[in-house]
Homo-oligomer: A and B are copies of this chain.
Amino acid sequence: MQNRDISSTFVKGMTVLKAFDDSQAHMTISEVAHKTHIDAATARRLVLTLVHLGYLKKVGRNFSLTPRILVLAGSFLGANQFGRLVQPILNQHSAEIGRGISVAMKDDNKALLVAQSSLTSTRMTFGFTVGSHLPLLHTAMGRMLLALEGMDEVERIISEISLEAHTSLTTLDRGKLLESIQLAAKLGYCVVHGEFEHGVTGIAVPSDASGEFPSVVAVSDVTESYEAEADLKTVVVKMKRCAAELAQSNAL
């Protein structure tokens, strides 16, 4: 028995729903039960409830998410004016910078992509969408997000998080990570070379928006495109312009 203010059934239900992540999109009832550590009979009831509500659909003996789950996301995006305010600004600055722009927020100990504008002239994307989780410590957007938090929170996360080497360049030294985040806080921008995806450099700046959730504006490109130090500086300046406009628009 736990807190009387928390509905354990609802918690289990959301656990089941969350279990359908991109690592396992199609699951049988027993797989759900295994993954969530919920009794098979209970898991079955919760899964059937989700089917009843239209969030899951059954095909054969497997269950998978339906597009309806996007409606919940749409509520958040709509409420925060992403369509009307954020997206047009991102589009314009994306064209000016010549690269796709992403906006991210901190979610637990992950960076969460909340908006994106990819260049229409290129097929290049990094395969992430709104709702994608990225590492906090080994991406520019993640470190910049941490730099916006209090340093006590940063130290807590750095010490708690398990470090995973995504590439040969991934920084696994917790002290160096802290330094990098402190530098980002001081400079007002963050650059990370190939620590998450090989050969890709990320740049992030705070969005400056005074909204409900701290957010950052981020750009990714192959490392060579920033060969000249001046190129990088130019991009940062343009990104800051984008951030300023987002802040001014009262979005986010």
**Chain A residues within CB distance 8 Å of chain B:** 3-7, 9-14, 17-18, 20-22, 25, 44-46, 48-50, 52-55, 57, 59, 64-80, 82-84, 87-89, 91-92, 94-95, 105, 107-108, 112-114, 117-133, 212-213
Can you report 29 A-B residue pairs in the complex whose CB atoms are below 8 A from each other? Answer: A7-B49, A10-B13, A11-B49, A11-B53, A18-B71, A59-B212, A64-B212, A65-B72, A65-B76, A66-B213, A67-B76, A67-B105, A68-B107, A68-B112, A69-B72, A71-B131, A72-B72, A72-B73, A73-B131, A74-B130, A77-B131, A78-B131, A83-B127, A83-B129, A87-B129, A88-B123, A92-B123, A117-B118, A130-B130
A10-B46 in contact (CB<8A): yes
Give the residues in chain B near A84, CB-CB below 8 Å: 125, 127
CA distance A6 to B13 in the complex (A): 11
CB A249 to nearest CB in B, in angstroms, measures: 11
Q: A45-B5, A49-B6 are in contact. Are A79 and B64 (CB under 8 A)?
A: yes
CB A11 to nearest CB in B, in angstroms, measures: 6
Choice from B11, B82, B123 contacting A91 with Cβ under 8 Å: B123
Identify the closest chain B residue to A20 (Cβ): B75
Give the residues in chain B near A59, CB-CB below 8 Å: 212
B14-A87 in contact (CB<8A): no
CB A182 to nearest CB in B, in angstroms, measures: 25
A117-B114 in contact (CB<8A): no
Identify the closest chain B residue to A52 (Cβ): B6
Identify the closest chain B residue to A53 (Cβ): B14
B213-A73 in contact (CB<8A): no
CA distance A103 to B103 in the complex (A): 22
A119-B118 in contact (CB<8A): no
B87-A125 in contact (CB<8A): yes
A131-B49 in contact (CB<8A): no
A130-B7 in contact (CB<8A): no
Give the residues in chain B near A73, CB-CB below 8 Å: 69-70, 72-73, 130-131
CA distance A16 to B213 in the complex (A): 22
B121-A95 in contact (CB<8A): yes
Q: A25-B79, A79-B25, A131-B75 are in contact. Are A125 and B70 (CB under 8 A)?
A: no
Give the residues in chain B near A5, CB-CB below 8 Å: 44-45, 48-49
Identify the closest chain B residue to A100 (Cβ): B120
CB A88 to nearest CB in B, in angstroms, measures: 4
